[in-house]
Amino acid sequence: MTKAHTPQGVHHESVLEQHMCTELTTQQGYRLRTSADYDRDLAVDRELVVEFVRTTQPQEWAKLESQYSASAESEFFKQLDANLKNVGTLGVLRHGIKIVPGIKLRLCAFKPASSVNPGLTALYDANILSLARQVRYSRRNDNEIDIVTFINGIPIATFELKNELTATTFKHAEKQYQRHRAPANEPLLTFKRGALVHFAMDESNISMTTRLMNGKTKFLPFNRGTDEGGAGNRDIPGDFRTAYIWADQPDGLAVLSKDVTLDIIGGFMHLLVEEKPGKNNVPERRETMIFPRFHQLHAVRKVMADARTLGTGQNYLIQHSAGSGKSNTIAWTAHHAITLHSADDRPIFDTAIIVTDRIVLDRQLQRTVAQFAQTAGIVKTIDGTSKQLKAALASGARIVVTTIQKFSTEHLTTLSGMADKRFAIIVDEAHGSQSGKSAQAMTEALSREDADDDRTIEDIVADYQAARGPQPNISFFAFTATPRNVTLERFGRKGMDGLPHPFDLYSMRQAIEEGFILDVLQNYMTYKAYYQLEKTIEDDPELNSLQARRRVARFASMHPAAIGQKVEVMVEHFRRHVRDGLDSQAKAMVVTQSREHALRYYQGIKTYIADAGYGDMRALVAFSGELKVDGNIYTEAEVNGFAETELPSKFDSSDYQVLIVAEKYQTGFDQPKLSAMYVDRKLAGLQAVQTLSRLNRTFPGKDHTYILDFQNTVEDIQNAFRPFFEVTALEANSDPNQIYTLERRLKQFGILDDGEVQRFAETFYKGDLSGHDRARLEGLVRQAVARFEGDDEDRQEEFRQLLRSYMRFYSFLSQIMMLGDTDLEKLYAYTSWLIRLLPDREIPGDIEVTDEMLRLQAFRVEQKEKGSASLSAGDHDALSPISEFAAKPYSEEEHKALSEIITNFNEKHGAQFSIDDFIRFEGVNREILDENMIEMLKNNSDDVVYRAFRDVFFRGAIRAFQRDNEMKSAMMTDPDAREEITKHFFRRAQRQVRETKAA
């Protein structure tokens, strides 16, 4: 459009302001007020405050007038002002005020959970929403704020608006708040006393804050995200991208509508009070007004709307990025669930149960859920025994917070009569344990009916099997940033493509682009450790096994020379690049591969900083249980000098800068000051993402992080992050018929007997088991144990692996679908006993590799890669369905000799291939062993069939390792290694074909 045809004033920010006001008044029922209606000293619209109170509570107002006569209104505003100053706007809106003598006045009415009481509904309808433009709020000058919104004359939100066409954006609005909206002595802008939230906004973006602190004011994004999963907002046909603030959307979320605004005030907002170490470790009381970010508000209201429509028996997978405020979202979900009613005014859920798979219940989650409660005693935290959990469920507790393991105990097996109650199960970090035995026990306990003695054994078995699957009285709300394939299939919703998808998404990409979390891959350095090992004994029969390979790797990684050089790199990097950050509060974590490694690194770092005279640097170590090293017993508490429970607060203080971990604190640990991570363990997949994400929390002054990695390549880490960077997807659904393949493979061993399985079921499922019953069951299972013990060791181990695979896959499968085959359920019950009675695998005595056996001739650490490992939009990989089951075990002759293992540590490849690498080749074998190849192997001599096998295997290996440069390089460029690997798996394929033929 040319300038001549441009409507006058279209580029002015007043256009957005006028449009927003018009939409709110015409579409959302707001009253338009003026700045003249606003009282600068009280920061309220006096006329509307009185109108609401007098209209909705005439009797109480009459009492006020009777007591105070002509000064009634004056006394009312005097007490309102006092309450706003003392308890704040949120407290006044939620609880009203009291005036002598016993006059109770509401200032706001919230939507009742049901419409049973017409009086409460009428009171809610009487709320007055209003707005004013260009509000002169200041008591010192004539400063104006573009828009202020009110509920019953009390300010809720302020808005500073900008117009992108004049090259001003929401960022300019943020600066306006920081530089020209000083809160001192300004009631409207005073924390807690004035408006609850302040928005900076243009046509495309919105940010918000609940506390103005001049230049220190921190704004958070309040955007919906784009269709592609990035930061910002998607287009809204016929309106601005930020129209979700005022206009109804297909998902029902117009933020300033009456329902949403009052839901935020009554059911979301919260004043968080914490004591945290300040400067010089002096405790500081910190208050934060929690206002939901858009993705949190959207997720809770979206799942509640769906549950209100569909009732119980649904699954919801909420994929929200790590560091996105998941604990708050879980708490809001629980509190909304227990007040949710259907269209016919019936409660949807009787109880909300928040479960975690952490053995030690997440204390942060406990506190968050309890703090959000507005009624005392509504939250029951099960931090004791399972007996406590049973009592809470039996008593009809509204919100229960517990670990999932407590459902597997004997106490819960006797809990019955739950089938007529409705449960919202809210799963914190939905991973593997949520599709395993504990999750099954939870479902059974919460859907168990009273026993019916008229059922046949087949009926009982069918009921047990059905109880594992989806239950009409239970809905699952599963939260995770990193859903696995099992998680997607267990909790995801089927889309038009027939595949499961998350119900709600706030992606890692969006969180990073919005600056809500940091990109932990932005500064990634990899180091390679090169070993030159020399045998000091020529004859090594004890070490001539695959086990020796790991022992040698351990020997080399634990050697003082190796740890010493890495410690020097870590400490010096921390001091040069990290230590002085965040006003000298920056922290680092060292991630090691075992408890002993963690202790030795702690000792190495402690010695290094003492020798270097770095008295301003101290380290802590975290490991579980007792640890025996060099003949001495160590515990975490003894090494650190204080109880384990104190470690998080001690590390948060200025006394300590480095934390060395092994598993413990690698996940689920929230320390925003973490700025660097030093990784000396192999990380893959989910573990890599969860471990490195400890760094992503923001903190004032923290705008970048560092990772130094001694074990993984940049490509390894990028491959781990790709499935979780945007929305996590599945390539295909798992084939449920694989359960029959596993059943068939198990029976081919000749260890299981169908008659014994049936007799076992007839006793096991009949009810309470007597001592005689248990003896009979064990006697039946021990017949299979005897057959197992008569088999050779290789077949024993393969049977063990297949047995575990069957149990895991059946446990998963029975939860996502009704299988309708009682034989599978009987076999599962039987194998649950069998796996416990099978003798443990005879593990050779630990091989102690020492300097007498091996000598570390040379060692050096060399930097390999440096720079950004960050992912880009569209950088995404789908997860594979469940398809990998137990591989055949290796016979002793298939193991490599120690001399070959040592070669893997020399400079030829600088690699440390493990047994896991070879397991991946098993997948290649399974892929190429189709009917044609099996026939060729059966009917031809080695020299005839090997050439065909070699070509097919090579192509399959390249496909399998197309994203693994290290292994692909070995296959492509090293003919000798390629030939050795191919022949190894050719022999394995021949063995499998021979044994299948014999069976």
545 & 683 share domain = yes
Give the least confident one: 28-32, 36-40, 859-863, 865-869. Answer: 859-863
* pLDDT of 840 over the 90 cut: no
Average pLDDT over residues 829-852: 76
Length of the chain equals 999
Residues 685 and 761 in one domain: no
With 90 as the cut, is the pLDDT of residue 717 above it? yes
CATH number (domain holding residue 312)? 3.40.50.300
d(CA 828, CA 485): 22
Q: Distance between CA 917 and CA 967 in Å, rounded? A: 8
How far is the C-alpha of 857 from the C-alpha of 862, rounded, in Å?
Answer: 17
Q: Is 352 left (phi over 0), alpha (psi -120 to 50) or beta?
A: beta
553 with 467, same domain: the answer is no
Please give the full DSSP string across 432-457, using - where no structure is assigned: GGGGSHHHHHHHHHHHPPPP-TT--H
Banded model confidence at residue 437, pLDDT cuts 50, 70, 90: low
| Per-residue CA distances from 925 to 269, 362, 748, 895 (Å) | 57, 43, 20, 18
- What mean pLDDT do residues 486-491 have? 89
284 in a structural domain:
no
For residues 790 and 765, membership in a common domain is answered with yes
pLDDT in tens, 754-799: 999 999 998 888 777 788 888 999 999 999 999 999 888 778 888 9
Shared domain for 591 and 473, answered yes or no, is: no
At 358 the pLDDT is: 59
pLDDT given at position 392: 82
pTM (two decimals): 0.82
Q: Which of 445-449, 452-456, 580-584 has the highest mean pLDDT?
A: 580-584
Q: Of the ranges 124-133, 158-167, 679-688, 892-901, which one carries the lowest mean pLDDT score?
A: 892-901
- pLDDT of 844 over the 60 cut: no
pLDDT at residue 896, rounded to an integer = 43
pLDDT computed for residue 974 by the predictor: 67
Q: At a CB cut-off of 8 Å and minimum separation 6, what does 70 contact? A: none
Which range has the worst mean pLDDT, 183-197, 382-396, 471-485?
A: 382-396
Q: Is the pLDDT of residue 887 over 90?
A: no
Higher pLDDT, 350 or 841: 350
Q: Is the pLDDT of residue 569 over 50?
A: yes
Number of domains making up the chain: 5
Tell me the C-alpha distance between 202 and 940, whole Å: 75
Residues 355, 446 within the same domain: yes
Of 814, 837, 860, the residue that ends a domain is 837
Would you say residue 852 lies in a domain? no
Per-residue pLDDT, averaged over 874-896, amounts to: 64
> What confidence tens digit (pLDDT) does each residue in 65-82 have?
999 998 999 999 999 999
Of 776, 807, 837, the residue that ends a domain is 837
Whether residue 204 lies inside any domain: the answer is yes
The answer on 451 and 409 residing in a single domain is: yes
The pLDDT score that the predictor gives to residue 731 is 85
pLDDT tens for 7-53 read 444 446 688 999 999 999 999 999 999 999 999 999 999 999 999 99
Q: What is the model's pLDDT at position 548?
A: 64
Tens digits of residue pLDDT in 956-979 = 777 666 655 556 666 666 676 677
Residue 258's pLDDT band (boundaries 50, 70, 90)? very high
Integer Cα distance of 576 and 830 in angstroms: 60
Mean pLDDT calculated for residue range 519-535: 86
**pLDDT, mean of residues 178-205:** 96
- State residue 956's pLDDT score: 75
The DSSP 8-state label assigned to residue 479 in this structure reads: E
pLDDT for the residue numbered 49 = 97
Q: How far is it, in rounded angstroms, from Cα 535 to Cα 533?
A: 7
Q: How far apart are CA 666 and CA 688, in angstroms?
A: 10
Residues 633, 363: Cα–Cα separation, whole Å: 29
Which residue in 941, 742, 899 sits closest to 828, CA to CA? 742
Q: Does 486 reside within a domain?
A: yes
**Secondary structure of 877-905 in HEC code, one letter for each residue:** CCECCCCCCCCCCCCHHHCCCHHHHHHCC
Q: What's the mean pLDDT in 392-421?
A: 73
Q: Of 723, 756, 780, which closes a domain?
A: 723
Please report which confidence band the pLDDT of residue 820 belongs to, taking 50, 70 and 90 as the band edges: confident
Distance between CA atoms of residues 551 and 549, nearest Å: 5
Contact between 569 and 527 (Cβ < 8 Å) = yes
pLDDT at 545: 52
d(CA 277, CA 299): 33
Confidence of residue 467 (pLDDT cuts 50, 70, 90): confident
pLDDT of residue 75: 95
pLDDT averaged over the chain? Answer: 84
Look at residue 680 in the predicted model and tell me its pLDDT.
94
Q: Is residue 668 located within the same domain as residue 615? A: yes
- Asked, for residue 281, whether it belongs to a domain, the answer is no
853: in domain: no
What does the pLDDT read at residue 243?
96
Res 361: pLDDT: 42
Are residues 677 and 742 both part of a single domain? no
**How much of the chain exceeds pLDDT 70, in percent?**
82
pLDDT grade for 895, boundaries at 50, 70 and 90 = very low
Structure confidence at residue 967 (pLDDT):
62
Q: What pLDDT was estimated at residue 943?
A: 67
pLDDT at 863: 87
Kindly state whether residues 443 and 590 are assigned to the same domain: no
Instruction: Give the per-residue SS3 of 942-967.
Output: HHHHHHHHHHHHHHHHHHHCCCCHHH
Are 666 and 782 within one domain? Answer: no
824 lies in some domain: yes
- Output the pLDDT for position 897: 38
Q: pLDDT-based confidence at 2, cuts 50/70/90?
A: very low
Rounded Cα gap, residues 457 and 47, in angstroms: 74
Tell me how far the alpha carbon of residue 178 is from its chain's centroid. Answer: 34
Q: Are 969 and 917 in contact (CB under 8 A)?
A: no
> For residue range 593-623, what is the model confidence (pLDDT) as tens digits?
989 999 999 999 999 999 999 989 999 999 9
Mean pLDDT computed over 695-718: 92
- Residues of the chain with pLDDT > 90, as a percent, come to 48
Average pLDDT estimate for 896-900: 44
The mean pLDDT value for 559-564 works out to: 88
For residue 567, which of 612, 504, 536, 530 has the smallest C-alpha distance?
612
- 362 pLDDT above the threshold of 70: no
**Average pLDDT estimate for 935-948:** 70
Lowest mean pLDDT among 418-427, 496-505, 896-905, 938-947: 896-905
Do 398 and 536 fall into the same domain?
no
Residue 877 lies in a domain: no
The parent domain of residue 438 ranges over: 292-506
pLDDT over 50 at 252, yes or no: yes
